[in-house]
Amino acid sequence: MTDDHPHHGDHDHDGEDHGHHPKPKLDIERRVEAIEALLVERGLITSDVVDAIVDTYERDLGPMNGARVVARAWTDPGYRARLLADGTRAVGELGFGGAEGEHLVVLENTGDIHNVVVCTLCSCYPWPVLGLPPRWYKSFAYRSRMVREPRAVLAEFGTALPDDVEVRVWDSSAEVRYMVLPVAPDDAATRSEEELAALVTRDHMIGVAR
């Protein structure tokens, strides 16, 4: 261990007894610990289950799933049609599903239409295909501004759209989760699904990139 000990004690006993600037636990940290202790004590959960869930969301769920869906849609017209008709079922074909994916609607970008997704009330997001939302998606600024001035916000993301492209903003509700199907690259037909998936980012599928 170095003498600097820069970690804030991920799992150490990080009390207030270190020589350097002590870092007392935040109220919120104590509160979360208390909730866990209570739920474990009541036999409702185990800490191992919580560990496993966190691990899944940190590692296994993420935009790489959605990217595979997009790449399949770009290379298989039949799949694309099924995806646009019933997103939940079509992503299920690739093995993706679960919480927050029960009513998935896929929005197709075209040369004339650009779709972008927001959740104005909280942070609704299609977990099975995109994982958990990035910090900015949950921010007050994004939630409040994307509906009011989408072109300005998109420009700040580096996505300045020509005036003749219609911007459609989709506000996720308690029922529906959205994912954007970006426009395929011109040479999609000559490329492998894996190559294509590597081109697709989370921002494309939220719609803040084009």
Partner 1 sequence: MTSSSPPDGIPRRNGELVFDAPWESRAFGLAAAYVEASGGGWDAFRAHLIAAIDQTPTAPYYQSWVVALDRLLAADGISTSPTG
Question: 117 CB contacts (<8 Å, ≥6 apart)?
Answer: 107, 169, 170, 172, 178, 179, 180, 206, 207
Closer by beta carbon to partner 1, 49 or else 160: 49
**Does the annotation count 47 as an active-site position?**
no
Q: Report, in this order, helix, strand and coil percent for the chain, each rounded to 5.
A: 45, 10, 45
Binding-site ranges for partner 1 (CB under 8 A): 10, 26, 28-29, 31-36, 38-39, 42, 44-45, 49-51, 53-54, 57-58, 62-64, 99-100, 121-124, 131-136, 138-142, 144, 152-153, 156-158, 174, 201-203, 208-209
Q: Closer CB to partner 1, residue 95 or residue 140? A: 140
User: Residue 196 contacts by C-beta under 8 Å, 6 or more apart in sequence?
Assistant: 70, 71, 74, 75, 184, 185, 188
173 is a catalytic site residue = no
Nearer to partner 1 by Cβ, of 29 and 76: the residue is 29
CB of 66 to partner 1, least distance (A): 10
DSSP 102: T
- Nearer Cβ to partner 1 (36/166): 36
Quote the least distance from Cβ 86 to partner 1, whole Å. 21
Q: Which amino acid is at 185?
A: P
123 labelled catalytic: yes
Catalytic residue among 122, 139, 144, 173: 122
Residue 210 beta carbon to partner 1: minimum distance, rounded to whole angstroms: 13
Sign of CA dihedral 68, 70, 73, 75: negative
Residue 33 Cβ, how far from partner 1 at the closest point, in Å? 8
Q: What is the C-alpha to C-alpha distance for residues 186 and 183, in angstroms, rounded to an integer?
A: 9
Number of other residues whose CB lies within 10 A of the CB of residue 18: 12
Catalytic residues: 119, 122-124
